C-alpha cells in the first residue's frame, strides 16, 4: 500500500527518528537533528501524563443558565488540598498548609471574580502525572518548573502534590485572567506541547521521561473522561449511573455496527500511515550505511513490533458485547 504522509505526520516522524526538522529521508540519509527526544523515545522512556480536567467558575458555585451548579473554584481547591490536609504551593513561592491560608488565597485571588457571570471561566484545572515508582519530590519539582515556564510570567497558580495512588501526581489551579488582562487560549495541539514541556522539566530533575503523541505510540482510544468515571463509580450521595453520552455511544456501536463512520476510517488510515512510515524508516536506515543507522533501525523495529493492535473504543464495546445485552456490559471496563 502506498503511504500518503501528511505534513503533521512528517513532523511527528522527524521527532521520532531524529532527522533534521522538515526534511524527509532521501536515499536513506537521516539528519542529526532532534536532540535528546528521539533517543528518549526509542530507549523506552516512561510517558508523562498531562490532563486538563476542567475549568472553575466562581468561589461559591453559582447557578448556570439552566439552574445547574457550575464548578466551584473553592470546592476544587478544598478537594485537591484534602480540606487543607495537604500543603499547597503558589506561583510566588508561598506555601499554604491550613484552612485560613487557603481561604485567604481564594479571597485575594478570586473573590473579585465572584460577581462575574457564572459561565465565565476563572481558573484552569490541570493534572500532571508520572508512572509508578517515580520519586514524588522530583514530580513536585518538575511540576513547579513546568508551571513556572508555562504560566508564571502572566498567570497566578497553585499546585498540590498527591501521593495517595501508585502514580505520583500534581493538581494545579491556574488563574485564567493574566496580569495583562488576557485569558488563557488553547489551540489544537497545545496539550501535546504541554506534555513535551513537562517531560523536559522532569528530565531536568534527572527523571527519564518523554511525551510521545498517542497516535505515534499506536494508541487510538481516547482517555477516560473523569466525570464519567465518577458517575459510573458513584459516591456516598449518588448511586452509580450511566453517563447519557456514553450510553448513546454503546447503543450506537452495538445497534449500528455497519453504519459508515468516517472518523473511524480516518483513525485506521492514520495508523496505517504511521506504521508504514516507521517500516520505511527502518528500511532506509538499513541501506544508508551511516554510523549508528543499524542500531536506530533495530530500536524502531522493536517499537513497531510492540505497537498495540489498532483498536478503538467502539471495537472494544463490540468485543465485550459479544452475544450479551447492552445493559449487561461491565460499564467500568468500557473506559
Question: Quick one: pLDDT band at residue 295, thresholds 50, 70, 90?
Answer: confident
pTM above 0.75, yes or no: no
Higher pLDDT, 31 or 199: 199
Distances (CA, A) of 85 to 32, 107, 128, 162: 49, 19, 20, 11
Which has the minimum average pLDDT: 186-200, 234-248, 271-285? 234-248
Q: How many helices (H) and strands (E) does the chain have?
A: 11, 6
**CATH number for the 43-212 domain, one of 2.20.28.270, 3.30.930.30, 3.40.50.620, 3.30.420.40?**
3.30.930.30
Cβ atoms of 277 and 3 within 8 Å: the answer is yes
> Quick one: which of 149, 150, 133, 136 has its CA closest to 52?
150
The pairing of beta strand 49-56 with beta strand 157-162:
unpaired
Pick the most confident of 40-44, 127-131, 321-325: 127-131
Residue 140: pLDDT band with limits 50, 70, 90: very high
Q: What is the C-alpha radius of gyration for the chain, rounded to an integer number of angstroms?
A: 23
Confirm if 250 and 329 have CB atoms less than 8 A apart.
Answer: yes
Whether 166 shows a pLDDT value over 90: the answer reads yes
Residue 162 pLDDT grade (very low, low, confident, very high; cuts 50, 70, 90)? very high
Domain ranges of the chain: 43-212, 226-334
Amino acid at each position: 500500500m502506498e503511504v500518503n504522509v501528511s505534513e503533521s505526520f512528517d513532523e511527528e516522524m522527524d521527532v521520532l527518528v531524529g532527522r533534521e526538522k522538515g526534511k524527509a529521508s532521501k536515499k536513506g540519509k537521516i539528519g542529526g537533528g532532534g536532540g535528546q527526544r528521539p533517543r528518549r523515545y526509542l530507549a523506552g522512556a516512561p510517558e508523562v501524563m498531562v490532563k486538563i480536567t476542567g475549568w472553575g467558575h466562581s468561589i461559591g458555585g453559582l447557578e448556570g443558565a439552566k439552574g445547574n451548579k457550575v464548578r466551584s473554584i473553592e470546592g476544587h481547591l478544598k478537594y485537591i488540598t484534602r480540606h487543607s490536609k495537604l500543603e499547597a504551593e503558589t506561583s510566588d513561592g508561598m506555601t499554604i498548609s491550613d484552612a485560613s491560608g487557603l481561604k485567604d488565597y481564594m479571597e485575594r485571588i478570586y473573590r473579585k471574580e465572584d460577581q462575574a457571570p457564572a459561565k465565565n471561566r476563572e481558573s484552569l484545572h490541570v493534572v500532571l502525572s508520572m508512572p509508578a515508582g517515580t520519586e514524588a519530590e522530583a514530580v513536585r519539582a518538575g511540576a513547579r518548573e513546568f508551571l513556572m515556564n508555562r504560566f508564571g510570567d502572566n498567570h497566578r497558580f497553585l499546585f498540590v502534590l498527591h501521593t495517595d495512588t501508585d502514580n505520583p501526581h500534581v493538581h494545579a489551579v491556574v488563574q485564567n485572567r493574566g496580569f495583562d488582562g488576557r485569558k488563557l487560549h488553547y489551540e489544537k495541539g497545545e496539550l501535546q506541547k504541554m506534555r513535551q514541556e513537562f517531560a523536559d522539566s522532569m528530565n531536568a530533575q534527572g527523571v527519564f521521561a518523554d511525551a510521545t503523541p498517542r497516535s505515534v505510540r499506536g494508541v487510538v482510544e481516547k482517555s477516560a473522561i473523569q466525570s464519567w468515571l465518577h458517575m459510573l463509580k458513584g459516591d456516598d450521595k449518588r448511586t452509580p449511573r450511566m453517563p447519557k453520552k456514553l450510553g448513546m455511544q454503546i447503543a450506537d456501536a452495538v445497534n449500528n455496527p455497519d453504519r459508515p463512520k468516517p472518523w473511524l476510517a480516518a483513525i485506521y488510515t492514520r495508523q496505517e500511515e504511521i506504521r508504514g512510515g516507521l517500516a520505511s524508516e527502518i528500511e532506509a536506515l538499513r541501506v544508508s550505511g551511516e554510523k549508528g543507522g543499524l542500531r536506530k533501525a533495530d530500536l524502531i523495529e522493536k517499537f513497531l513490533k510492540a505497537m498495540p493492535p489498532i483498536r478503538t473504543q467502539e471495537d472494544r464495546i463490540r468485543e465485550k458485547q459479544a452475544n450479551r445485552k447492552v445493559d449487561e456490559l461491565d460499564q467500568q471496563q468500557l473506559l
